[in-house]
Amino acid sequence: MLLSTKLQRRLKQLGVLSALERGEQLVLAGPTYELRKEPGVHVRLAFLYDADARLCIGYADDGEGEWRAAEFEPLSWRAYGYYQRRLKRIGEVVEDDTRGTPR
């Protein structure tokens, strides 16, 4: 899949590209949110390759004690914006890795 220069730059800023190059299967990025409907369960923006080797975006949760992809789709600017908005809608920020300060 060809990614726009703008999207490639954003993935590089988030550290996604270097993590995938190191061989990480699930790359978490951005703030950590605690679900409003399930206190104690955290979610984060996630990047991974699907079975067809397409770079995907979605979110992962730690509900079972480890981070697992909960929902994802092929990466696009539309999907990136959708998942950012979705996490803000379903959770409260508990830690913001983009600034390095817990809330």
Domain locations in the chain? 5-97
Confidence of residue 86 (pLDDT cuts 50, 70, 90): very high
Confidence of residue 96 (pLDDT cuts 50, 70, 90): confident
Q: What is the dihedral of CA 40, 66, 68, 53, to 10 degrees?
A: 150
Q: What is the pLDDT of residue 10?
A: 95
| Mean pLDDT for the chain overall | 92
Taking a C-beta distance cutoff of 8 angstroms, is the pair 91, 33 a contact?
Answer: yes
Mean pLDDT over residues 18-34, rounded? 96
**Distance from C-alpha of 11 to C-alpha of 18, rounded to nearest angstrom:** 9
Q: What is the pLDDT of residue 103?
A: 37
